[in-house]
Every structure is written in structure tokens, then in C-alpha cells.
């Protein structure tokens, strides 16, 4: 799929955690999956409310129709309109949400017009149809309200942004959050429950553990990161351990003055990724005590480097990673408690090593491979990895038909079953093909190879004679068991991969004779049906038909007798094989047919309406039938046509080769 990642570009430019997250997601989508992705950014300033509103307007007017799906994560990017818009929320404008009351709201003397606009915005939250009027009222407010109305944070800004966010949330197809902390914050999702929580991975490469020497704290030196608390804690630390502070100064020179009397504290300023990896590698512990952090990438990076993390009980997101006494220390947010935790680790390096090891195990599963399916949900096919570890096992499958393109039910089952099996073993599928098709040897999915062998002329002639003898019922599958020696290329194609196969599969029983000639590997019988029962119902009830049905039962019995495992589509089929042939129940495995969740995704009501319009359908309810040219499907369609004549108020759609049936010569209108 073509995926757009939408994000604001801060004015003035800053490259922080959000920017690294989007770049990491972009790199993963393009290098590790079969999706194609691009990062689309618009400049957004936050000097006052009106600049923020301009950002919302910019993303709302942004045309992203050339993408199949878009992902956003921060205001105002989630205002972009797209039927498949997934919001992977980092946070809202926190000064107008969870930090509004802490930072202090600003009151003012507002005019009647200001109050009327705010009342409209409050009443029409979560109503996208009011957005045009909402923007118009906000623009009028910009010109009429006092300058104080545009301040951040403030009551006017809060009402305006809450309205815009609520409209954006109402139009999203899916929502998720980077942490349970974010997912739980009051009003962030405006009445929606997030569909998932997906911790984002770090963009740092090569995190490792080397020595246990210094304390390390990482982050901007602003109030929310509480670097001051760490510095004050060092006054109570008795151990001779150095504290390294990495991160942009953020204009907070007071911290340097506060630490000036302690030679153990060093400020490193901004460091490169390579330098940061080295700092983590040699840390005794990572000290990270922000207040109400969204997620806490520093904690994750410290754990991946095999270091214990010391954090605070009110840190927010880091508490989803750090476990007290297990992967680090969780202490009260005061200098003495923090110092005591530092001294305890300094006195017992063995505890630091053990906590670091457990932390690395805890953090290892946090990766884009795990997060992305939660972000995309049913909006997109599951991301298929471009890279596979070399499979050590080998499986060979013999079929009487090519599986590509997968159109009929048997083809779809074989393609999907062995495509997924190819995640764990190399799979070679050797297919007998129509003589009019070319011979092929190609990879049809990662790890899944199809070798297509056309039937010889002599083989085809014998098959035609057999079909004629039973009233032209198709017999391609059964004929393989009778005439395979007339297509010697089929046995040759099987012999090569069978030499080192860990198992061979008879997809239907008819390849058993040729597999017995070329392979000594354990045999699996994939019983897509109970062939004896199926053929008995299809073949004509005369001597030739009955004789061929007996042949089918004989070969299926033999296949069941030698099989190490029998795979069935249903438990009923398994019970029937046990009844007919005495198959041991412990070798029967039910592998039911399913749905290709990569190709069949949920479509929103808006998408379905658009598809109906493009198909030229009117507003009548629509009934859909899909099927191949197959006896039971022909019977079903005959009944369906009669129903359609009685129900002119319903539009009936029929898809598939069943439409070739003569009964469709004169369908109802």
C-alpha cells in the first residue's frame, strides 16, 4: 500500500523524539515491509493560538488522496481528511489538556461575541459537518477578540483546540496511542476509546552493555524532565559516581550553576547518536525522572543497553517499562529517595547487572514489527517483511493443479496455506498443469516456489478418453494417479527437491504413486475433501463411473495408511476418514479454510459508499454472491435468480466464473 505519514514541522525547527519516531517508522515501512511510504510535513508555529489554528487549517486542506492510507500522531496533522486515517497519538497540545490546570489558565473580560463563539464550538464538538462554520467563527474571533484571547495556554485557546481536535477524532478510521499513559488521558480522544496501545521503538542502533561506571540522564533541560531533581539528589549521594547530563540546554543555565559545586556532575550538551550509544554502554544506571512523560524513550534505550533505570512514581510512561526491583528502581520524586536508590546500586553492581539483563529482556519485544499491526489494524494488509531468516526445513508439495493465480477455492487454500508455512520452511510446490500452459519455476511468495509441469500429449490423450467414458466429467486429478508415467517430467521435477525434504505433502491423494517413487521422507496427506465421497457424488452411476470411484477410494485408503499426518479442512472430514479407513486420530489435524487478512480488509462506511458510486450502483440495498463454476454454486445461483425476480428493491451482484453459467443468458434486470 501507499502510506503517507503526516507530521508538523516545528517552527523554529527542532529534532526531538517525535521527529525520530516518524523517521524510524518511515524507514521501517520502506525497508522492512512491502508497503511504500513517504513523510509529508507542514511547518507549524505555536507562538499563539492563531498560528496553531493555521496549522490545523493547513492539514485540513492538504490533499492526500494519492495515498491508500495515512498515519498521523500529533496535532494538527490529525486534522487531515482521508477515509483510511489512523492516528497513532503521541500527545495533544498538553498545555490545553492534562497540563492546563497545572500551568494555570488565563482569564479575561470577553465580549458577547467571544462567548457566543465559544458556546458554538463547545456545542458542536465531534460534529465534522460544522467545521467550515467553525473555522469562519474562529477567524472572526481573531479579528474581534482582545489580544489576550490568542495566548497559549488560555480558555479561548482551550475551547478552540478542543473543538478542532474533536472534529478530527470523529473523522478518523482508527486510533492508537504510544502508551497506556497517553491512552488514558482525559479528553485526548474526545469520547473515543483508542483501538490499541503500541510502544514505539527507538531509532538508536547498536545499543549494548560494556561497563557499569557513571550515572546518565538524557533529555532537554526543561522543567518537565526534572533534571534539577537529579542534580539536587546528587547532594545526598555518598558514592563516588559521576553524573553525566546529555541533552540540549534549553536556556536553563540555572542548572549549571546549581551543579557547579559538585565535581561529579558534567553537562555534555547535545551529543550524536553514536556518542549516546557509548554513554549508555558504560552507564551504571540511567536516571530518568520526568513528570507525566508520554512514553519515555530514554527508559527504553537504557533497558535495551542492559542498564537499570531509576525513575519516579509520577513519571507516567516510563512506569509501563520499569518494574521496581526487577528492571530498575521506582522511587518517590524527592531528592533523598532518588539518592538512596543511586547509592544502593553503586554499592551493589551485581544488582545493577541483574536488573539490566532483565530490562533488556523486557524491552526487546518493543519494535515496529510488533507496533505496526496495532497502528494499522484492519485498515491495511498485514506488513509482510522483506527479510527472512534462512529456513532450515524443507517441504515439498505435490498438486494436480497450479496454485497461481489463486482463483478457485482449492487454489486459494493451497496458496495461502503454503505461503504461510514458508515462514518456517522452504516450500517447493510441484504442480501438474494444462499442456497449453508453459513450464515455469518461479517464486510465488517469499520462501514459496512453484514448479509448473505441463501434461504430455500422451497423458492428455489418456485423460480425455477417461473423461469421455464417464460422460465428460473432469478427471484431471484422478488421472495423475493413473497416467503420471506418461509425463515423466513431473517425477523429475519432484525428485530434486525431495532429496533433502523433511516432509512431502500429497495435496489430494492422487500424487501418491509418483511420490512413492521419488521420496522416502515422511508423507503428509492434505485432504481438502473426503475424495471417495466427493467423487462418488460426482461420477455417473454406471460401470465406468463406479469403477473410477472405487479407484479413488483405493488410492485415498493407501494415502491414509502411509501418511504420518493427515490435514483436513473440517473435523467432520477427519471423523469420516477415521470411519472409512481407520486413520489414527492422533495424526489428524484440522486446518480449516480461512480468510486472507492481507487482501480482505475492513472497509469503512464512507469507503463502501464511494465504491458503490464508482460502480454505478444506486441506493438500493446490495446482496453479493461470489463463486466459481461449480455444481453447488450453480444450484445456489439458480435459486438466487428466482429470488432476484421477486425482490426488485434489492440489487444483486454475482462475481466469479459462475457467471459463465447458461442460466445467466437472461438474468432479471
Residue 662 pLDDT greater than 90, yes or no: no
Residue 589: which of 608, 570, 614, 602 has the closest Cα? Answer: 570
Give the mean pLDDT of 352-357: 94
Specify the DSSP class assigned to residue 287: E
Calpha distance 514→4 (Å, rounded):
51
Give the mean pLDDT of 277-283: 95
Q: Per-residue DSSP letters for 388-418?
A: -PPP-EEEEEEESS--SS--SHHHHHHHHHH
Q: What is the pLDDT of residues 189-214, one digit of tens each?
A: 998 889 999 999 998 988 999 999 99
Q: Per-residue DSSP letters for 510-571?
A: GGHHHHHHH--SPEEEEESS-HHHHHHHHS-SSHHHHHHHHHHHHHHHHHHHH-SEEEESSH
Predicted pLDDT of residue 433: 93
| Confidence at 391, pLDDT banded by 50, 70, 90 | low
Predicted pLDDT of residue 254: 81
Residue 372 pLDDT greater than 90, yes or no: yes
Calpha distance 444→256 (Å, rounded):
62
Residues 6 or more apart whose CB falls under 8 angstroms from that of 317 comprise 178, 179, 181, 182, 293, 294, 295, 296, 299
Cell matching residue 529: 475433501
Residue 394 pLDDT greater than 90, yes or no: yes
Q: What is the pLDDT of residues 318-341, one digit of tens each?
A: 999 999 999 999 999 999 999 999
Query: What are the Cα distances from residue 549, in Å, to 408, 462, 470, 540?
Result: 23, 17, 11, 9
Predicted pLDDT of residue 253: 75
Calpha distance 562→505 (Å, rounded):
12
Residue 240 pLDDT greater than 80, yes or no: yes
Predicted pLDDT of residue 287: 97
Predicted pLDDT of residue 70: 97
Give the mean pLDDT of 429-445: 89
Predicted pLDDT of residue 102: 62
Q: What percent of the chain has pLDDT over 70?
A: 95
Predicted pLDDT of residue 181: 95
Answer with the residue of higher pLDDT: 288 or 665: 288
| Confidence at 617, pLDDT banded by 50, 70, 90 | confident
Contact 387, 356 (CB under 8 A): no
Q: What is the pLDDT of residues 375-385, one digit of tens each?
A: 998 888 766 55
Q: What is the pLDDT of residues 107-153, one digit of tens each?
A: 555 678 888 899 999 999 999 999 999 999 999 988 777 777 888 88
Predicted pLDDT of residue 34: 87
Q: What is the pLDDT of residues 41-72, one digit of tens each?
A: 999 999 999 999 999 999 999 999 999 999 99
Contact 86, 173 (CB under 8 A): yes
Predicted pLDDT of residue 10: 94
Calpha distance 483→486 (Å, rounded):
6
Amino acid at each position: 500500500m501507499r502510506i503517507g505519514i503526516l507530521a508538523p514541522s516545528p517552527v523554529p525547527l527542532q529534532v526531538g523524539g517525535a521527529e525520530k519516531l516518524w523517521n524510524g517508522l518511515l524507514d521501517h515501512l520502506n525497508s522492512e515491509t512491502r508497503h511504500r511510504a513517504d513523510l509529508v510535513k507542514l511547518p507549524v508555529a505555536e507562538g499563539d493560538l492563531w498560528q496553531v489554528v493555521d496549522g490545523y487549517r493547513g492539514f485540513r486542506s492538504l490533499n492526500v488522496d494519492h495515498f491508500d492510507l495515512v498515519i498521523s500522531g500529533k496535532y494538527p496533522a490529525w486534522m487531515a481528511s482521508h477515509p483510511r486515517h489512523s492516528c497513532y497519538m503521541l500527545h495533544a497540545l498538553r498545555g490545553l489538556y492534562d497540563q492546563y490546570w497545572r500551568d494555570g489558565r488565563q482569564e479575561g473580560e470577553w465580549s458577547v461575541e467571544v462567548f457566543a463563539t465559544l458556546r458554538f464550538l463547545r456545542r458542536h464538538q465531534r460534529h465534522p459537518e460544522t467545521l467550515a462554520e467553525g473555522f469562519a467563527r474562529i477567524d472572526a474571533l481573531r479579528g474581534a477578540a482582545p489580544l489576550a484571547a490568542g495566548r497559549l495556554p488560555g480558555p479561548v485557546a482551550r475551547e478552540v483546540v478542543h473543538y478542532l481536535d474533536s472534529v478530527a477524532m470523529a473523522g478518523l478510521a482508527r486510533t492508537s496511542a504510544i502508551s497506556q499513559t497517553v491512552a488514558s488521558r482525559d479528553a485526548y480522544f474526545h469520547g473515543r476509546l483508542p483501538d490499541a496501545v503500541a510502544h514505539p521503538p527507538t531509532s538508536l542502533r547498536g545499543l549494548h552493555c560494556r561497563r557499569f561506571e557513571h550515572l546518565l540522564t538524557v533529555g532537554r533541560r526543561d522543567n518537565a524532565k526534572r533534571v534539577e531533581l537529579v542534580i539536587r539528589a546528587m547532594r545526598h549521594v555518598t558514592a563516588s559516581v559521576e553524573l553525566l547530563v546529555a541533552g540540549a540546554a534549553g536556556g536553563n543555565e540555572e542548572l549549571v550553576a546549581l551543579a557547579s559545586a559538585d565535581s561529579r556532575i558534567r553537562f555534555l550538551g547535545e551529543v550524536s547518536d553514536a556518542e549516546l550509544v557509548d554513554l549508555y554502554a558504560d552507564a551504571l544506571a540511567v536516571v530518568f525522572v520526568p513528570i507525566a512523560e508520554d512514553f519515555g524513550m530514554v527508559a527504553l534505550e537504557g533497558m535495551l543497553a542492559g542498564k537499570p533505570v531509576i525513575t519516579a512514581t509520577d513519571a507516567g510512561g516510563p512506569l509501563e517499562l520499569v518494574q521496581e526491583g526487577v528492571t530498575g528502581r521506582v522511587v518517590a520524586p524527592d531528592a533523598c529517595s532518588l539518592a538512596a536508590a543511586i547509592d544502593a546500586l553503586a554499592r551493589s553492581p551485581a544488582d545493577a547487572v541483574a536488573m539490566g539483563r532483565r530490562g533488556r529482556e523486557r524491552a526487546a519485544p518493543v519494535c515496529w514489527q510488533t507496533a505496526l499491526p496495532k497502528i494499522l489494524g484492519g485498515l491495511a494488509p498485514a506488513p509482510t517483511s522483506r527479510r527472512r531468516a534462512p529456513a532450515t526445513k524443507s517441504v515439498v508439495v505435490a498438486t494436480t493443479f497450479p496454485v497461481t493465480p489463486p482463483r478457485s477455492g482449492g487454489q486459494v487454500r493451497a496458496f495461502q496455506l503454503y505461503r504461510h508455512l514458508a515462514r518456517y520452511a522452504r516450500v517447493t510446490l510441484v504442480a501438474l498443469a494444462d499442456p497449453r500452459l508453459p513450464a515455469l519455476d518461479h517464486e510465488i511468495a517469499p520462501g514459496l516456489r512453484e514448479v509448473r509441469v505441463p501434461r504430455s500429449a500422451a497423458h492428455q490423450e489418456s485423460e480425455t478418453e477417461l473423461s469421455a467414458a464417464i460422460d465428460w466429467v473432469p478427471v484431471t486429478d484422478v488421472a495423475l494417479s493413473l497416467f503420471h508415467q506418461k509425463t515423466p517430467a513431473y517425477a523429475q521435477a519432484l525428485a530434486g527437491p525431495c532429496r533433502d525434504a523433511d516432509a512431502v505433502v500429497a495435496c489430494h491423494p492422487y500424487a501418491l504413486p509418483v511420490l512413492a517413487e521419488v521420496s522416502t521422507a515422511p508423507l503428509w496427506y492434505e485432504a481438502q475433501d473426503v475424495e471417495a465421497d466427493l467423487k462418488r457424488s460426482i461420477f455417473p452411476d454406471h460401470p465406468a463411473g463406479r469403477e473410477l470411484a472405487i479407484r479413488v477410494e483405493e488410492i485415498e485408503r493407501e494415502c491414509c495408511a502411509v501418511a504420518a499426518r493427515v490435514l483436513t479442512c473440517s473435523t467432520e472430514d477427519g471423523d469420516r476418514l477415521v470411519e472409512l479407513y481407520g486413520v489414527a486420530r492422533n495424526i489428524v489435524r484440522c486446518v480449516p479454510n480461512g480468510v486472507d487478512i492481507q487482501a480482505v480488509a475492513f472497509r469503512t462506511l464512507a469507503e463502501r459508499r464511494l465504491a458503490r458510486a464508482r460502480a454505478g450502483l444506486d441506493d438500493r440495498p446490495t446482496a453479493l454472491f461470489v463463486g466459481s463454476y461449480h455444481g453447488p454454486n450453480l444450484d445456489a445461483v439458480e435459486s438466487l435468480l428466482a429470488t432476484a425476480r421477486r425482490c426488485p428493491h434489492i440489487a444483486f451482484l454475482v462475481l466469479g466464473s459462475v457467471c459463465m453459467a447458461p442460466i445467466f443468458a437472461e438474468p432479471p434486470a
